[in-house]
């Protein structure tokens, strides 16, 4: 690779050709502030519109200032990153941005975690000259079941637009209007509800301000916990425990399962359960379904649909309902772990503790915003009562814990309650890309071959590439497995299936980068992909440390089938644990 020598702040450095000034400066330990720029390294996600103009630097011989995030180094370049000209420019530009930004930081969901706020502090902005007569752009608020859009706070960094279009290929968002009136939103500035939005929440995950936030359900949870007539149970998704610690100053990748359980108990939840239990249940159902279709296929049944697609990611379910409705019988009919949990909690468990359905409140803690929408889907309600009453994100849980003056750093480690709190390592890895299919393989292999797995870790299914392929030997039968994370990657796989070019028997799809650990409800990563990698590591470590590593070996799952469901895919299981999908594509009608 060709090298380029340049000087930054009087320091000489040699970097690869094609490096940006910002990156070269970083290597020298010089921190040039950036706002719109975002790079999730190794995930192929980069936002580089060069729009905010905060990262400008002085380059000798150039008339104007150069945006360091998007200006490549050149041989002999002399760069000054913090001259008075630069400092004045950054501050003035920041004043411009803030002059068109609401000042309601007190009640903003992003307060304290806002990149714009941090930048204002960093650049020392203390007043906004001319604010008293500065016109501010105004848009209507959008309250969807999962995401709240307050475009008054949009600074046109375009990160959400890039995630929605390039990474997810959902296309719900686009920049609209021009100049001062421009912002990013759905077509016709309608609410997300009327768009192709999947509620994956990746727009929220990357938004540097409070323009895109989750719909907050903490008030509902507080109300439920305060109501003496209600029995409140909580379930926590696998990815939450690997990230929650970040909100309490712990290093990324610190698993806080025990402390989290302790905190939930102190918050007053009557039963602290684990979504992982339902993940094991999912494997039983989905794995059985996979084997059923596979066996039929191997026996020459031409009508059987293969590959089977996982269905535990609700954003992914929304995605194919919108974009590939003609393929809605291909994904597994198994409900997601959140919904399986809710269903079992409000039947099996409610019966067990003798509480009426309507007096049992199920709260889920999810790394995800699409789960909020999923919990509200009509098919997951019985007489209007939802199986899962409220779904709150990892971030919302952190707020609740903090509000209760609890600190994960000092809480003891405690165990989940039984019976819906026991889980296998296979369930834990649901939180990362490739995890669901690995969990399924662990179980399906042993059921299909009646042999014990010698090596439980399937390294070939792990990794961070957007699309991965592996062939697992089922005792002589090669099973082709595909894995995609990111809906753009999923789209490619679906197009292949549609075109009859897919060689896979089973495909796992997760909407978010890295799987659930990178979900839209997780602590904000602020563009640091090492955080996602650390979370992944924590998940695999948790799996490795579990005494039970395979779903079908979870004793409480076995018991659930014995006592209640019968066997996987039984009629009862079908009724409680499976679902169907809908065509949500836009229709043009003739009037």
Partner 1 sequence: MTKYKMYLLVCGGTGCRASASDSIVENLKQELETKGLQDEVQVLMTGCFGFCEKGPIVKVQPDNTFYTQVKPEDCAEIIEEHIVKGRKVNRLLYEDPENKKHIEDSKHMNFYKKQIRIALRNCGFIDPENVDEYIARDGYSALGKCLSELTPKDVVDQIKESGLRGRGGGGFPTGLKWEIAAKNEADQKYVVCNADEGDPGAFMDRSILEGDPHAVLEAMAICGYSMGATKGLIYIRAEYPLAIKRLKIALEQAREYGLLGTDILGTGFEFDIEIRYGAGAFVCGEETSLIHSMEGLRGEPTIKPPYPAEKGYLGKPTNVNNVETYANITAIINKGANWFNKIGTEKSKGTKVFALAGKINNVGLIEVPMGTTLREVIFEIGGGIKDGKKFKAVQTGGPSGGCLTEKHLDTPIDFDNLLAAGSMMGSGGMIVMDEDNCMVATAKFYLDFTVEESCGKCSPCRIGNKRLYELLDRITQGKAEMEDLQRLRNMCYVIKDTSLCGLGQTSPNPILSTLDNFWDEYVAHITDHKCPAGQCKDLMKYEVVEENCVGCTACARVCPVGAISGDKKQTHYIDPAICIKCGACEERCKFDAIIVK
Partner 2 sequence: MSSIKVKLKEQDLNKIKEICKSFNNEEGELINVLHKTQEHFGYLPAEIQEVVAQELNMSVAKVYGVVTFYSFFTMLPKGKFPISICTGTACYVRGADNVLQEFKRQLGIEVGETSEDGKYSLSCLRCVGACGLAPVVLVGDKTYGRVSAEGVKEILAEYQDK
What is the binding site for partner 1 (CB under 8 A)?
49-53, 56, 64-65, 67, 70-72, 85, 88-89, 92-93, 96-97, 99-100, 129-130, 133-135, 155-156, 175, 177-182
Rounded Cα distance, 402 and 408, in Å: 9
Rounded Cα distance, 494 and 105, in Å: 43
Rounded Cα distance, 193 and 198, in Å: 9
C-beta of residue 354 within 8 angstroms of C-beta of residue 328 = no
What tokens appear for 520 in the block?
């839209």
Supply angle C-alpha 238, 351, 219, rounded to 5. 50
Does residue 289 have an active-site annotation? yes
Phi, psi of 29, rounded to the nearest 5 degrees? 80, 15
The secondary structure of residue 410, as a DSSP letter, is T
Candidates 324, 373, 504, 540; binder of partner 2 (CB under 8 A) is: 373
Q: Which residue has the tokens 């669901």?
A: 436
Does residue 332 have an active-site annotation? yes
What tokens appear for 103 in the block?
């000042």
Structural element, H or E, at residue 213: strand 212-214
Residue 113's binding partner out of partner 1, partner 2, none, with CB under 5 to 8 Å set by partner kind: none
Nearest CB to partner 2, comparing residues 269 and 373: 373
Does residue 371 have an active-site annotation? yes
- Contact string 277-316 vs partner 2 (x = CB under 8 A): ----------------------------------------
- DSSP bridge pairs for 392: 365
Rounded Cα distance, 59 and 273, in Å: 58
Residue 356's binding partner out of partner 1, partner 2, none, with CB under 5 to 8 Å set by partner kind: none
Rounded Cα distance, 358 and 244, in Å: 30
Does residue 495 have an active-site annotation? no
- The reply to whether 194 sits near partner 2 by the rule CB under 8 A is yes
Q: Which of the residues 255, 391, 516, 551 is marked catalytic?
A: 516
Does residue 52 have an active-site annotation? no
Residue 135's binding partner out of partner 1, partner 2, none, with CB under 5 to 8 Å set by partner kind: partner 1
Neighbours of 446 (CB within 10 A): 16
What tokens appear for 400 in the block?
């609740």
- The reply to whether 176 sits near partner 2 by the rule CB under 8 A is yes
- The reply to whether 590 sits near partner 2 by the rule CB under 8 A is yes
Q: Which of the residues 114, 164, 312, 512 is marked catalytic?
A: 312
Q: Which of the residues 144, 332, 364, 424 is marked catalytic?
A: 332
- The reply to whether 193 sits near partner 2 by the rule CB under 8 A is yes
Residue 526's binding partner out of partner 1, partner 2, none, with CB under 5 to 8 Å set by partner kind: none
- DSSP bridge pairs for 212: 149
Interface stretch with partner 2, choices 191-199, 274-282, 327-335, 553-561 (CB under 8 A):
191-199
- The reply to whether 168 sits near partner 2 by the rule CB under 8 A is no
Does residue 286 have an active-site annotation? yes
Helices (H), 345-421: 350-353, 370-376, 394-403
Does residue 374 have an active-site annotation? yes
β-strands 3-8, 78-80: how paired? Answer: parallel
Residue 97's binding partner out of partner 2, partner 1, none, with CB under 5 to 8 Å set by partner kind: partner 1
Tell me which residues touch partner 2 (CB under 8 A). 165, 170-178, 185-188, 193-197, 318, 373, 583-591
- Which sequence positions are flagged as catalytic? 286, 289, 312, 332, 371, 374, 379, 516
């Amino acid at each position: 690779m060709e090298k380029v020598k340049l000087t930054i702040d009087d320091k000489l450095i040699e970097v690869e050709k094609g490096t940006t000034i910002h990156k070269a400066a970083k290597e020298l330990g010089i921190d040039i502030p950036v706002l719109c720029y975002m790079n999730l390294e190794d995930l192929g996600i980069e936002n580089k519109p060069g729009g905010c103009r905060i990262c400008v630097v002085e380059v000798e011989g150039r008339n104007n200032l150069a945006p360091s995030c998007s200006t490549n180094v050149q041989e002999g370049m002399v760069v000054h990153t913090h001259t008075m000209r630069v400092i004045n420019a950054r501050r003035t530009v920041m004043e411009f941005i803030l002059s068109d930004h609401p000042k309601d930081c007190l009640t903003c969901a992003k307060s304290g975690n806002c990149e714009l706020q941090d930048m204002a502090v960093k650049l020392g902005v203390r007043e906004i000259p001319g604010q008293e007569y500065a016109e501010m752009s105004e848009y209507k608020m959008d309250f969807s079941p999962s995401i709240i859009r307050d475009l008054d706070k949009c600074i046109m960094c375009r990160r959400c637009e890039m995630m929605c279009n390039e990474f997810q290929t959902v296309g719900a968002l686009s920049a609209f209007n021009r100049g001062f009136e421009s912002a990013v939103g759905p077509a016709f500035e309608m609410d997300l509800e009327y768009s192709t939005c999947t509620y994956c929440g990746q727009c929220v995950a990357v938004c540097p301000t409070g323009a895109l936030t989750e719909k907050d359900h903490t008030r509902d949870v507080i109300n439920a916990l305060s109501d003496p007539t209600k029995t409140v149970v909580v379930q926590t998704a696998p990815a939450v425990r690997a990230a929650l610690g970040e909100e309490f100053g712990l290093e990324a990748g610190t698993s806080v399962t025990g402390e989290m359980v302790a905190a939930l108990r102190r918050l007053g939840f009557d039963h602290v359960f684990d979504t992982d239990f339902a993940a094991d249940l999912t494997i039983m159902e989905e794995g059985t379904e996979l084997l059923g279709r596979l066996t039929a296929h191997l026996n020459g049944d031409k009508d059987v649909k293969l590959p089977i697609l996982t269905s535990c990611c609700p954003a992914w379910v929304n995605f194919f309902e919108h974009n590939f409705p003609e393929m809605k019988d291909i994904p597994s009919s198994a409900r997601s772990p959140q919904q399986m949990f809710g269903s079992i909690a409000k039947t099996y468990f409610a019966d067990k503790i003798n509480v009426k359905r309507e007096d049992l409140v199920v709260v889920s803690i999810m790394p995800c915003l699409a789960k909020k929408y999923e919990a509200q889907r009509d098919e997951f309600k019985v007489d209007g009562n939802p199986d899962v009453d409220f779904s709150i994100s990892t971030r919302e849980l952190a707020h609740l814990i903090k509000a209760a003056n609890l600190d994960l750093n000092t809480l003891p480690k405690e165990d989940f309650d039984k019976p819906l709190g026991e889980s296998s390592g296979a369930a834990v890895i649901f939180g990362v890309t490739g995890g669901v299919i690995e969990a399924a393989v662990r179980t399906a292999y042993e059921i299909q071959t009646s042999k014990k797995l010698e090596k439980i870790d399937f390294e070939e299914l792990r990794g961070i590439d957007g699309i991965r392929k592996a062939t697992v030997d089922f005792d002589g039968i090669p099973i082709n497995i595909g894995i995609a994370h990111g809906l753009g990657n999923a789209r490619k796989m679906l197009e292949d299936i549609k075109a009859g070019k897919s060689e896979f028997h089973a495909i796992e799809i997760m909407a978010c980068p890295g799987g659930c650990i990178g979900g839209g409800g997780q602590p904000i990563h602020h563009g640091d992909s090492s955080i996602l990698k650390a979370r992944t590591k924590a998940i695999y470590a948790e799996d490795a440390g579990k005494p039970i590593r395979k779903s079908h070996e979870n004793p409480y799952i076995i018991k659930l089938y014995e006592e209640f469901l019968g066997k996987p895919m039984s009629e009862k299981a079908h009724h409680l644990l499976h679902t169907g999908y809908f065509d949500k594509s836009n229709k043009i009608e003739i009037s």
